[in-house]
Amino acid sequence: MVGGGVAGMSAACALAEAGLRVQLIERRGYLGGRASSYLHPGVNEVIDNCQHVLFGCCTNLQGFYRRIGVADKIHWTSEMIMIEPGGRRSLLGPSRLGPLGLPAPLHSLPKLMAAKAFTFADKLALGRAFCGLMRPVRSDSTENLGAWLKRNGQTKGALDRFWRLVIASALNADIDSIALPYAAKVIRELFMNSAFAGSMGMSTVPLSELYASAQRYLEQNRSSIRFNTNVEAAEWDEETSQWTLATRSGPLMSEFLVLALPFEATAKLLPHMPPAGKADALGSQLEHHEHWPICSVHLWFDREITTLDHAVLLDREIHWLYNKSRLQPWRKGNGSYVELVVSASRGFAELTREQAIAQAVRELGEFFPEVASAKLEKATLVKEMRATFGVPPGIDAARPTSVSPWANCFLAGDWTATGWPSTMESAARSGHLAAEAICKSIGEPRTILEADLKPRGLMRWISF
């Protein structure tokens, strides 16, 4: 198993549970990949490389968390608080009118209609769009979300405060660069299928601490991890049916090989893999992928600036606030630590550290007046330039299955053909699919992929 991100960990732990002895190889000294944390030397604090969230519909990520015993370390919420500059708030989420609440997809309608952030025209436009996305969208559609929204009469308020913020953030790309089928999937999963499907979960511990449980799980199941080890080449021996992986610390042998790497790392390894008939085709697929950045500004104040756990910030460059002092109560002190996230913004990623922090603090003060009287004790900027891959129209043709061009070699990673955009759920699904393929190849098939959440309420009778 090459790669210690969510894809590699989920595959490794599923295979260990199936009774296979797994050796996980990770080039860094900790697990998590792009979803990890580390001690930042500039501020002497443990920070996540970016705030990562999951949703109720992320069944495979939750299954992975249950397997390694960390499901209780996720804080769940079903509400999304939207704040305008000046402080006016709107609340989105399911409403409970009566003992059972409204049936899906109507469960979020009352709070949407009451939201002051949207005009009546905005709400009508959003309603039209939601109804339109209840109809099937062809998986091979070549239309982008921006064109579809224009065709379906979305107002400026609906575009700026919902589509360009909530949906573009979820997919981390501009609306003109998002394939319509993926946007439709996000809308259905988060806002239509059920109240729980759209619930948001956040880790109450640093990500690397969360994933340290995967290491313990593997070691308890006759498996191991090699940290600080980079695979430089791989050879396949047909006679012995063995893979030999070349590393600086010596060769490693394995009967099966799973490449659970980001697409660019997979592309770099391809020239050092054995010749294979479809290897060139895989290389061509990889060339079609493109990264989108996510930036996060971490701020430590000498006092509490808000009692909110998290919020959506409207009409400014900063998009999301996560109050890490509240989400991670183990952090001690009288001050507060907040993380501000900017998704799908290459312009913000081009700012210097000083410019980005100054802009973030200035804009944060427009939402929370307490910022003006608080002392900023320390701050840092994290730019994850390769945070996600884009999902433009036609990208599915560049997403390979778990089956690779080589014998006994399988692919995993959020960029493979999972049916999901670039998320931790897609990564976990890819790991489970690769694990299923290995179990099938050794004549011990088992179901590892977690089933999708079933639509509830009226959505049970709407076919996609």
Same domain flag for 61 and 139: no
For residue 98, pLDDT beyond 70: no
Residue 381 has pLDDT above 90, yes or no: yes
Expressed as residue numbers, the domain containing 434 is 6-44+53-71+203-289+394-441
Assigned domain for 456 exists: no
> Domain with 11 in it: what CATH number?
3.50.50.60
- 7 or 464, greater pLDDT: 7
Residue 464's pLDDT is what? 53
* pLDDT at res. 97: 56
Q: Are residues 369 and 381 in the same domain?
A: yes
The pLDDT of residue 463 is 59
106 plus 131 within the same structural domain: yes
* Predicted pLDDT of residue 241: 95
Q: What is the CATH number of the domain that holds 328?
A: 3.90.660.10
CA distances from 165 to 129, 161, 318 (A): 16, 6, 10
Same domain, 264 and 177: no
* 193 and 268 together in one domain: no
In a domain, 350, yes or no: yes
Instruction: State whether 107 and 163 are in the same domain.
Output: yes
What are 408-442's pLDDT values in tens digits? 999 999 999 999 999 999 999 999 999 999 999 99
pLDDT, tens digit, for every residue of 57-93? 999 999 999 999 999 999 999 999 999 999 999 999 9
Question: Tens digit of pLDDT for each residue in 384-415?
Answer: 988 999 999 999 999 999 999 999 999 999 99
Q: What percent of the chain has pLDDT over 70?
A: 98
Structure tokens at 335: 């001050």
- Check residue 95 and give its pLDDT: 84
Q: Does any domain span residue 403?
A: yes
pLDDT of residue 331: 83
Task: Judge whether 353 and 297 are in contact, CB under 8 Å.
Answer: no
Whether 372 and 323 share a structural domain: yes
Residues 158 and 17 both lie in one domain: no
The pLDDT score that the predictor gives to residue 169 is 85
* 140 vs 273 pLDDT, higher one: 273
Count the neighbouring beta carbons within 10 Å of the beta carbon of residue 239: 5
What's the burial of 182, exposed, middle or buried (CB within 10 Å: 0-12/13-18/19+)?
buried
Task: Establish if 86 belongs to a structural domain.
Answer: no
Query: What mean pLDDT is reported for the chain?
Result: 94
Residues 280 and 303 in one domain: no
Q: Of the residues 140, 163, 198, which one is the last residue of a structural domain?
A: 198
pLDDT at 50: 87
Quote the pLDDT of residue 100: 58
Is the confidence at residue 99, as pLDDT, over 70?
no
Same domain, 121 and 39: no
Is 185 part of any domain?
yes
pLDDT confidence band for 345 (50 / 70 / 90): confident
The fraction of the chain above a pLDDT of 90, given in percent, is 90
Q: What is the pLDDT of residue 136?
A: 85
CA atoms of 174 and 144, how far apart (whole Å): 10
Could you say which of 364, 389, 414 is where a domain stops?
389
Q: What is the largest CA-CA distance in the chain?
A: 72
pLDDT value, residue 454: 93
Answer yes or no: do 107 and 184 share one domain: yes
Strand partners, 252: 245
Q: How many domains does the chain fold into?
A: 3
Summarize the chain as % helix, strand, coil (round to 5). 40, 20, 40
- Looking at the structure, do residues 285 and 421 belong to the same domain, yes or no? yes
Q: What is the pLDDT of residues 193-243, one digit of tens each?
A: 999 999 999 999 999 999 999 999 999 999 999 999 999 999 999 999 999
Final residue in a domain of this structure, among 168, 198, 228: 198
Q: Does residue 446 form part of some domain?
A: no
192 domain-assigned: yes
Question: What 8-state DSSP symbol labels residue 5?
Answer: B
Within a domain: residue 83?
A: no
